[in-house]
Amino acid sequence: MTAARATSIGAPGYSQTFPSVPESAGLARDLVATALRVWRLESLLNEATLVATELVANAVQYGSGRYLVFSAERPSQFRVRIRVTDQSRVRPVLRCPDEEETKGRGLLLVSALAVDWGTDLHTIGKTVWADLVDEAGT
């Protein structure tokens, strides 16, 4: 595992490599909360930590590889992008589970909270990302 680092070029951001285990969701929540406080975007804290949790949980459950890369970026003054990269090229699927199902709502939550989300495929792996916007600041 590497220490969190600020990006040096492009959009301001933080990135960290985590082991692909369920406990990494808590580490991702801590990292995104720190970034939001530094950027003074605490209004996004609840939504961003939930989105981070769901994206990491999906990468752990459905991704491949021993590690995942989590990042929080600020592409504009009031927009935050949360990204999780793993080594699987299988795209996540937005499902609408029925009431009896106990799983399958992660991307539904992400879709409801984010202004946009998607998947970028790479030669090895994929990145799933979600954008959140502080509507009060725009």
The pLDDT, as a whole number, for residue 64 is: 87
Average pLDDT value for residue range 3-19: 72
What is the C-alpha separation between 125 and 50, in angstroms, rounded?
A: 23
**This prediction's pTM:** 0.87
What is the C-alpha separation between 54 and 67, in angstroms, rounded?
A: 16
The pLDDT, as a whole number, for residue 1 is: 44
Question: What phi-psi label fits residue 59: left (phi over 0), alpha (psi between -120 and 50 degrees) or beta?
Answer: alpha
Average pLDDT value for residue range 46-54: 97
Question: Which tens digits make up the pLDDT trace of 18-37?
Answer: 999 999 999 999 999 999 99
Q: What is the DSSP letter of 97?
A: -
Q: Where are the beta strands (DSSP E) in 21-66?
A: none
Question: Which tens digits make up the pLDDT trace of 67-100?
Answer: 999 999 999 999 999 999 999 999 988 777 677 7
What is the C-alpha separation between 42 and 86, in angstroms, rounded?
A: 27
What is the C-alpha separation between 59 and 50, in angstroms, rounded?
A: 14
| Angle 81-74-96 from CA coordinates, rounded to 5° | 15
Radius of gyration, alpha carbons of the chain? 14
The pLDDT, as a whole number, for residue 5 is: 54
The pLDDT, as a whole number, for residue 94 is: 76
Residue 119 pLDDT grade (very low, low, confident, very high; cuts 50, 70, 90): very high
